Chains A and B, each alone.
Chain A
C-alpha cells in the first residue's frame, strides 16, 4: 500500500546521497520533495507541514554533522520522526475488563465497519478463543442488520438480533443483557456510518457510546481517504473517547497517507489493517515496520542478519582468501555462491528486503532472477568435469555441446553462464587489487542502497 510513498521518498533522499555536505539549500530542495511525496500520498497538509518542519529543525542541528553521510542522516531523521508519528510499538486490543468487554466501531459511511466487525470477531474467536457476541445498531442503512447477522453466522459468533424500528440505545441495552446471559467475553457493537458534520447522527453515536460504555472504541477509516480525513478523524475524536484506529482496504494501491493523518490528529494508535475481501484478512499494525517500509529503507538489518545466519562461514573464508591472493575465481566457486543464494530464498526474497531506487521494478527483476534460473545454472556447472570447473578456458565447442546435453540446456545457456563467470572473475580481480571500497565507488551512483553505502 505504501509503496508509492516509499518510492518518492527514496528518490527525494537519493538526491542527497553522494553530496559532500548537507547545505541549507540542498536540504530545502529535498524537504520540498518530501513534502510533495507526502501530499501525493494524501497525508493532510497541516500534518505534512508540521512533519516537514520538525525534520528541518532536527536536520539543521548538530545531528547531521556527526553522521557519516548527509543522506543517511536525513533518512535517519525522517525515519525517527515517522516512528514517533506512527508510534513505536504495536498496541494490542485491551480486553482486560469485566466481561462482556464491549468493542464499538465507528466511522464514515462505506469505511468498512461491518466487515471489520466480522474480521475482528473471527480473530478473537480463533486466536484468543473468546466467546464473541455481535450486534448492529445500524437502523439507517437498509439490510445493514441482516448483513451483520449473516457475517456473525459465518465467523461463528453469537448474534444479538436487533430491529431497524428500535432505538439504537435500546438495542445496546438489550445486547448487554443478552451477552451477560450467554456468558460472552466480548460484545462487538457495529454502528451506522455517519458524516462527522451530521449533528443528529453524531449525537446518536454519543448516546450509543454512553449506553454501551465500550472498553475499546475503534475509528474505522478507508485507507483511500483524502485530505478531508483529518476533519472527520478530528470530529470523531472530539465527540468520542476513541482508543484506536482501524485502516481498511489497505490491500488496494492507495498510498495510505491517511494513516499518518489520522494518527497525528487523534493521537490514537493504529491497531489493525484490513487487507482483503476474505473474512480473515485482518493484520496487526506494526508501526516501526511501517515506518521503514514507507521510507523504503527495506529491511536491511534483517537481511544482514539473515546473510550471516545462512552463509557458510568456512566457505566464505576460503573464497575471501582466494580472492585476496588474486587467484582465480573458478566455476566451482560460482557454484558455491549460487547455492548460497538458493539457500537465502533466491534473488527475489533478497530484492524485496533491499531498498532499491524507485525506477527498478522489483517484480520485473523477480521474473528474471527466479530460483529456477539458479537451479539451471547450478545444473550446468554440475555437468562439467572438475578440470573444466577449475579451468573454464578449456571449454571449447565440443565440450559445450556435451555440457549442454548433460544438463538438458542449450549451448547458448552454457555460453551465458561462462560469460557471467568471466565478468565476476574480472570484478574479483579488481577487488583484490583495490579492495572493496574502490569497487563500490566504481559502481554507478545510487547503485548501493543508502543503508549500505
Chain B
C-alpha cells in the first residue's frame, strides 16, 4: 500500500498536467461522459424499454396491455422468462393498488424494482495487495473477451497507480500468448508467458513467483476460454486455483467471470457452473456497445447475486468502467440523469 501511495504522489508531482487530465477523466467518468455513452449505446437498438414509455401507453393510462407490452420488451432484452415474470407481477400488484396512475409512475415503479434487483450486486473491486500480489483470475467461455478485458483492466489499474503484471495462462488457443503480449507492450506491462501447450497452472505459478519477487501489486491471469459443460477443462481451472492458493491462501483474491452482453439465458448456466467449479467472486460484462442490452444481468442478479465488477461499452480503454446499478438502470430506462 505504502508503495502505491508513493508512486501516486510521485506521478502527480512530476506531471502537473497529468493531474488535470486525470481530473478531467474523473469528471467524465462520474458525470455525463460514461453514463451518456452507456445510455446512448444501450438505446441504440431500434426498440427498447422506454425508448418511449409514453409510446407504450398512448392515452397515458396504464393497463394490462401496457404491462404485456413491457413484458415483451423485457424478454427481448434477455432478462429471461422467470425474472421478467417477477418484475411484471410486481408491477401488476402496484397496478392493482392503483399506484400506477400514469407513465411517470410506471417509470419510477419499474426503476425501483430494477434497482432493488441490481443494487445488491453493485460491489466494486478494491484490490489490496498484502503479502504478495492481488491475483485476478480471468475465466469465461470462448470469445467472451477475457484477453481484451485484461488489456483494459491493466490500463485502468496502472492509471490508479498500481503496478501490474500479466500471466499468459491461455496456452491452448493459437496466438493467445502473443495477443496478451501485444497488450502488455501497449501498456508497458510485463507479461509472463511460456510456449503454447504449456501447463497453464505452471505459467500462472511462475508469474506469481515473479510478481512477488518484483513487488508487483496486481497480477492479471488469463486463461483459455472453455465451455462450462466440459468437465475436464473445468477441473483444469480448479487446479490453477489450487496451485495459486498454495502460494498464498488468500489468492486468487478475485475469480472474475467475463460474460458477453450478447449472451442469452445460457449466461445463467455459465455463472452457475463456473461458480460451482471454483467460486466466482465477480462478474465483468463485455460488449454492451452493440444493441444487446445485457438484460441477463437482471436475471443473474436475481438468481445468483454475484457481484458485478465492471461493464464494457466499447473498444477504448476507458470504455470499461465499474458497474453502477443506478447508471445502468437509468440508461436502460432512458432516464435523464441530469434532473
Kindly identify which residue among A36, A108, A255 contacts B266, using a CB–CB cutoff of 8 Å: A255
What distance in Å separates the Cβ of A142 from its nearest Cβ neighbour in chain B?
3
Query: In the complex, are the beta carbons of B290 and A195 less than 8 A apart?
Result: yes
- The answer to whether B45 and A228 touch across the interface, beta carbons within 8 angstroms, is yes
Complex CA distance for A73 and B179, rounded to whole angstroms: 55
CB pair A39–B175 under 8 Å, yes or no, is no
Type the 1/0 row for A136-148, where 1 means its CB is closer than 8 Å to any CB of B.
0000011110111
Min CB gap B56→A, angstroms: 15
Complex: A231 Cα to B289 Cα, angstroms: 13
Known pairs A197-B289, A226-B262, A227-B75; A143 contacts B182 (CB<8 A): yes
Interface size bracket, A side: 35 or more
Contact A42 to B174, CB < 8 A, known contacts A36-B81, A110-B143: no
Q: By CB atoms of chain A within 10 A, which of B173, B181, B267 has the most? A: B173
Contact check, B144 vs A142: say whether CB atoms are below 8 A apart.
no
Partner of B45, one of A109, A142, A143, A231: A231
- Let me know if A218 is at the binding interface, CB within 8 A: no
B39: CB under 8 A from chain A? no
Residues of chain B contacted by A39 (CB below 8 angstroms): 75, 81
B265 at the interface (CB under 8 A from A): yes
Q: Please determine whether B143 and A226 come into contact, CB atoms closer than 8 angstroms.
A: no
Complex Cα distance, B141 from A111, in Å, reads 11
Does A29 belong to the interface (CB within 8 Å)?
no
Partner of A226, one of B45, B227, B265, B289: B265
Interface centre among A197, A252, A255 (most CB of B within 10 A): A252
* Nearest B residue (CB) for A151: B174
Q: Most chain-B Cβ atoms within 10 A of its Cβ — which of A109, A226, A232? A: A226
A235-265 contact mask (Cβ, 8 Å, vs B): 1 or 0: 0000000000000010111110110000000
Once the chains bind, are B175 and A143 in contact (CB under 8 Å)?
Answer: yes
**A150 near B174: Cβ-Cβ < 8 Å:** yes
Interface centre among B77, B172, B175, B263 (most CB of A within 10 A): B175
Please, how many angstroms separate the alpha-carbon atoms of A84 and B260 in the complex? 31
Complex interface: chain A residues within 8 A of B267 (CB):
224, 226
Q: Could you tell me the dominant secondary structure of chain B's interface residues?
A: loop
Give Cα A150–Cα B290 distance, bound, in whole angstroms.
Answer: 30
A294 to B335, CA, bound (A): 41
B322 within 8 A of A: no
With the chains together, A115 CA to B267 CA distance in Å? 22
Write out the residue numbers on chain A whose beta carbons fall within 8 Å of the beta carbon of B293.
228
The smallest beta-carbon distance between A378 and chain B, in angstroms, is 33
CB distance from B312 to the nearest CB of A (A): 11
With an 8 A cutoff between CB atoms, is B124 at the interface?
A: no
B254 CB contacts on chain A under 8 angstroms: none
In the bound complex, residues from chain A placing their C-beta under 8 Å from that of B308 are none
B183 partner residues in chain A, CB cutoff 8 A = 142
Q: Is A229 an interface residue (CB 8 A)?
A: yes
Report the separation of the CA atoms of residues A249 and B230 in the bound assembly, to the nearest whole angstrom.
Answer: 12
Residue A7, interface by CB 8 Å: no
Contacts of B63 in A (CB 8 A): none
B260–A110 CB distance below 8 A: yes
Residue of A nearest to B177 (CB): A143
The contact string, 1 if C-beta is below 8 Å from chain B, for chain A 16-58, is 0000000000000000000010011110110000000000000
B108 interface hit (Cβ, 8 Å) = no
- Most B-side CB within 10 Å, residue of A146, A195, A197, A257: A195
How far does the alpha carbon of A39 sit from the alpha carbon of B81 in the complex, in Å? 7
Q: Are A253 and B296 in contact (CB under 8 A)?
A: no
Distance A149 CA – B45 CA, assembled complex (angstroms): 36
Give per-residue flags for B58-91: 1 if the beta carbon is below 8 A from chain A beta carbons, else 0. Answer: 0000000000000010011110110000000000
* B266/A112 in contact, CB under 8 A: no
Taken together as a complex, chains A and B put the C-alpha atoms of A42 and B75 apart, in Å, by 9
Check: A277 CB closer than 8 A to any chain B CB: yes
B290 touches A108 (CB 8 A): yes
B162 adjacent to chain A (CB < 8 Å): no
What separation, in Å, do the CA atoms of A146 and B296 have in the docked complex? 34
Cβ-defined contact, B179 with A252, below 8 A: no
Contact indicator A224/B182 (Cβ below 8 Å): no
Distance between Cα atoms of A224 and B229 in the complex (Å): 13
B residues 72-125 touching A (CB-CB < 8 Å): 72, 75-78, 80-81
Q: Give 10 CB contacts A-B under 8 Å.
A: A150-B175, A224-B260, A226-B296, A228-B45, A229-B262, A232-B262, A252-B227, A253-B229, A254-B266, A257-B264
List residues of A whose CB falls within 8 A of some B CB: 36, 39-42, 44-45, 108-112, 115, 141-144, 146-151, 154, 195-197, 222, 224-229, 231-232, 249, 251-255, 257-258, 277
